[in-house]
Each structure stands twice: as structure tokens, then as C-alpha cells.
Amino acid sequence: MKKICLAVINDIPSFLSGEVLNFKSPKDWLCDAFASCEGDSLGAVCCLCEIEDKIKDYDVLFLVSSKYPLIDSFTINDSISAHLSGKFAATAISSSEYEDIAAAVIDISALGEVKGIKSVSDALLRVGENGHKIGIHLVDSDSIFPITSASALSYANDAAQEAIIQSLLENDVVIISKQTTFVSPDAEIESEAIILPNTIIKGKSVIKKGAVIGPNSVISDSTIGEGSVINACQILESTVGNNTKIGPFTQLRPNSHIGDNVKIGDFVEVKNSTIGDSTSVAHLTYVGDSDVGRKVNFGCGTVTVNYDGKNKFRTQIGDYAFIGCNSNLIAPVKIGDNAFTAAGSTVTHDVPDDALYISREKDERIIEGWAEKKLGKRRF
């Protein structure tokens, strides 16, 4: 049994090498395809000499150019099988439509010195220079469509999205506008979810049954619970519970965890915080580095003041607390269960359970030299 390894030669033009193909880089598309193939993935390299020590442990190398990211696992396995059943030291992978060589299956013993091999063609040339014969295996042209220009990338993106959207429609996901909906191949959307126009779902996001996403929303590596409504929001690396309503114009920054039956309204930002079930944060509020209980009400203009210029601090808010409009909660601070803060208060001390905090005394002072004493010579 021959040992097989797989590698990508990263030779695509630099302006096409980022996360431009359906939210993933071309080399990552290929490395993902390797996961379903026979053999061990050695990742992406610019030159074979980078993995010279590794490939010596194998018998056969499948080498593919990152300019051909649509090569799938079926094509890879089929090409390897064709090579192993043939009598050539290397097998070039191409199609009847495109003249370029997209990939090759190579007996590593036929390569010899790998220094200077920076493309699939370089590798095949080296095999030929070493006196070995090279065969060719033709595959479906769609799988080796070359991406070497912005127009080719646009075509590939359209083709990839069409396949993803069609699969979702067949699973009873409602997509209002196929032309303005973009879904990552790694995302999971359950049946009866509704995707409204101008929605982007990136990474390994999960959209649960009956959720409504959009319009004008970005969901990235996040989970949205059943029946939740996300309207004109950006949600990044966070979780949203069931039957929660968020938006419009709301941002959940990474590591935000929103409970069930929560309302988060317009111009609210949440960062690195947990918000308990049935809490309302209706508008114009910043909740950062906070742990918020159940059935809390935030008045308009509340800010959890988490940063003193050097360090971040957390705010704790108990169940059933009521935070009055324009309250500033100066962390670290704890607001107890059933506690109230009066509108306009700047809260600098912990508030016990069932208490009311009022801070409205007139205190207007200018303290000269305070910033230099606090921060030293540093300036932003």
C-alpha cells in the first residue's frame, strides 16, 4: 500500500489569494477538499523545498496549483487512482477545454531534488529531466476552472453560490433573493429559516429552524436560535438564543452570548458579554465586558464603562434590575437583583439587591495634569 501525501503550490496572484472565493482563500478550499481524500495533507507551500523533509516519508505526491481551487475530492481521488493503475512516474491532470496543467500525481522517487520547484509544471519538468515518462489524465473541465483574474473569480463565486443556494432551497430554507444572498459553504441553515435580501452568512455559522435573517445583515461564525429575528445587524463570533429579536443597526462583537426572548434594539453594541433571558436593551446602549441577568431593563443611553485607558473591567447586573436612562456603570461594579439606578446616574459603587442608586449632585471640577499623572507621557 503506497503512502500518499497532498500539497498545494500557492502560486495564485496575490490579489486573489485572500478570502475572496466564497469567504475562503483558494488554498483553503483545496486543503478542505484534501480532508475527504486518501492520504495526508501537507498544506500549502510556495516551494516544494519547504516540505522536503516531510515528503520523503511518502511514496506518492498529489500536487495542485492554488489557481484551481474548484478541484474537489472526487477529482483528486479519481486522479490518484488513475495514476496508481498506470505505468507513468507522473500523471498530469488537465481537461480537454483548458491547456494548462492544474495538478499532478507524482512518484516522489522520480522527483529527485525538489529545490526550485515552485509550480506543478516545474515538478513535471523535473520528472522529465530525470528521465521518467509522464502521462495525462483528463477530468471534468468545471472542476479545474482556472482563477487567474478578477472576472474568473466572479464567475467561480457565482457558480459556487448557485450550488449552495440551490441546496438550501431543496432543504426548505426560504431565500427571498438568490442574487443578494451569500452563504459560506461551511454554514448550516435549518429548514424553515428565512433569509431576506442583502444577507451574508460567513464561516461556520448555524441558523436554526424558523429564524429570520436580514435584510442587510452579516452573520459570521455565530449561532442564531430558533425563531429569532435578526434585522440589519452584524453578529460576529457570538450566539443568540431562541425567539430573540435583534436590530435594526445592532452589532454583536465577538464572545457575546444572548439568551432567549431577549430584545436588543437599534444602535446597541454588545461586546464580550452575556445577556440573560427576557432582558431588554432597546436602544442607544453599549454593553461591554458585562454579565447581565434575566429580565433586566436598560434605559436609553446606558453605557457600561469598561475601560480606564489601561485595563478592561467587568460589570455584573443581577436579575430584574432596572437601569435608568443615561446611566454610566463604572466597572468594576455590581448591580444587585431587583436594584434600580436613577436616570442620569454615574454608578461608581456596588448597588445592593432591591436598592435605588441616585447620583445627581452638582460636581463640576477641572483637575489640571490628571491625564499625565494617569497615563504618563503616552498619547493616543
Q: Name the nearest CA neighbour of 302 among 278, 280, 332, 277.
A: 280
The continuous run of DSSP H or E covering 342 comes out as none
Q: Are 216 and 198 contacting, i.e. CB atoms less than 8 angstroms apart?
A: yes
Dig out the grid coordinates for 54 from the structure.
516531510
Query: Distance between CA 336 and CA 356 in Å, rounded?
Result: 10
Residue 299: DSSP 8-state? P
> Residues 83, 132, 137, 283: which is the catalytic one?
283
Cα separation, 339 vs 321, in Å, equals: 5
- Which three-class secondary structure state does DSSP give residue 179? helix
**Cβ distance 193 to 207 under 8 Å?**
yes
Neighbours of 230 (CB within 10 A): 29
CA-closest candidate to residue 285, choices 235, 251, 244: 251
Task: State the distance between the two ends of the chain, measured CA to CA, in whole angstroms.
Answer: 62
How far apart are the C-alpha atoms of 183 and 271, rounded to whole Å? 24
Burial class (CB in 10 A: 0-12, 13-18, 19+), 350: middle
CA distance 335 to 68: 57
Distance CA 122, CA 82 (A): 21
Contact 193, 210 (CB under 8 A): yes
Rounded CA-CA distance 28/18 in Å is 10
Mapping DSSP to helix (H, G, I), strand (E, B) and coil, where does residue 96 land?
coil
Partners of 218 in beta bridges: 200, 234
Asked whether the beta carbons of 232 and 252 are under 8 A apart, the reply is no
Distance, in Å, from the CA atom of 33 to the CA atom of 30, rounded to the nearest integer, reads: 5
Cβ partners under 8 Å of residue 191, min gap 6: 171, 172, 173, 209
Q: Is 283 a catalytic residue?
A: yes
Question: Catalytic site residues?
Answer: 283
